[in-house]
Amino acid sequence: MKGKSIPLPDEYLQDVLIRLAHHSSAIEGNTISLPDTVSIILHNTIPGKTDLRELYEITNHKEAFQYVIDQIINQKPLSTEIIKGIHERLTDRLLSDKGKFKMHDNFIIGADFRPASPHETPLLMEQWVENLNYQLDQVAKNENDIMRIVGDFHIQLERIHPFSDGNGRTGRMLMIYSLLERGLPPLIIRSEHRAEYFQLLALQNIASFALFIEKLLKEESRRHQGFIQMEDKKITVYDDKPSTEDSDVGQ
């Protein structure tokens, strides 16, 4: 199911980027605050005593998010190359193997399963992205189907754990890719939802995860509409100004 693209004003995209960079990083333990994230992203101002690794985790979201938006504007279907491109930008200056599938076994602390082996990962990821695109394009009939499929495949990705690190941040960015691609607002999982989010992943409860996504997207949709209305008011104010051609001055 291909939805109509939604309008994405620049100010709204900045707002999404700031919240995404802060919350997605905070879920992984980053301690940079939301106000400091605003300073870093919007004003290129680095607060004193900022840990360099945490700073890169925040700033890398800017390049990764712009990359996602560019691919969507160009109507590029999700592929393993795009997935690697997102990971490469999210982990720039943080990982020596940025943008590459894992070369060694990795583990998830406290998980009752073992992620895919490095040997299995390339084929599993090809199958993952092909199946995701098929489900979204051919099977999904409505927005609820899209949310269920996006949640299901996020859980699957977590179990493959295709990269040596940065899987969570990449996976959350991929959910945004699929949602925007199909005309839904982006999903921002806030840091205060960390425990619930991790529990849903651990339980692999697709139905509950879909409801979780639906709740957050309803909130995001209201926020998005607020930015659209702000943009419309700007246009109205601009349009109310008389043009030079309409002016009587000098006549």
Instruction: Please identify which residue in the block is written with the tokens 């020596």.
Output: 96
State mean pLDDT over 59-83.
98
State mean pLDDT over 13-27.
98
Give the model's confidence band at 111: pLDDT under 50 very low, under 70 low, under 90 confident, else very high.
Answer: confident
Residues 6+ apart with CB under 8 A from 85: 67, 99
Q: Is there a catalytic annotation at residue 104?
A: no
Residue 241 has pLDDT above 50, yes or no: no
Q: Which domain holds residue 160?
A: 10-217
Give the model's confidence band at 59: pLDDT under 50 very low, under 70 low, under 90 confident, else very high.
Answer: very high
Residue 3 has pLDDT above 70, yes or no: no
Determine, yes or no, domain membership for 124.
yes
Q: Cα(27)–Cα(169) distance, rounded to whole angstroms?
A: 9
Q: Which residues are annotated as a binding site?
A: 165-172, 205
Determine, yes or no, domain membership for 112.
yes
Query: Residue 103's pLDDT is what?
Result: 97
Q: Which residues are annotated as a binding site for ATP?
A: 165-172, 205
Q: Cα(30)–Cα(23) distance, rounded to whole angstroms?
A: 9
Burial status of residue 245 (CB atoms within 10 A of its CB: 0-12, 13-18, 19 or more): exposed
State mean pLDDT over 174-195.
98
Provide the H-helix boundaries in the chain. Answer: 10-27, 34-43, 52-73, 80-90, 121-134, 143-160, 167-181, 194-203, 206-240
Determine, yes or no, domain membership for 107.
yes
Determine, yes or no, domain membership for 237.
no
Q: Which letter, b or e, does each residue of 102-130 get, where b requires 16 or more Cβ atoms within 10 Å of its Cβ?
A: beeebebeeeeeebbeeeebeebbeebbe
Average pLDDT, the chain: 92
Determine, yes or no, domain membership for 224.
no
Domain containing residue 138: CATH number: 1.10.3290.10
Give the model's confidence band at 242: pLDDT under 50 very low, under 70 low, under 90 confident, else very high.
Answer: very low
Residue 46 has pLDDT above 50, yes or no: yes
Residue 248 has pLDDT above 60, yes or no: no
Tell me which amino acid residue 225 is: Q
State mean pLDDT over 159-166.
98
Query: Residue 246's pLDDT is what?
Result: 40
Determine, yes or no, domain membership for 37.
yes
Written as six digits, the tokens of 33 are 């605050």
Query: Residue 75's pLDDT is what?
Result: 95
Determine, yes or no, domain membership for 223.
no
State mean pLDDT over 43-61.
96
Active-site pick, 23, 61, 87, 161: 161
Q: Cα(242)–Cα(239) distance, rounded to whole angstroms?
A: 8
What is the model's pTM?
Answer: 0.90
State mean pLDDT over 152-172.
98
Query: Residue 240's pLDDT is what?
Result: 42
Determine, yes or no, domain membership for 1.
no
The total number of structural domains that make up the chain: 1
Residue 239 has pLDDT above 50, yes or no: no
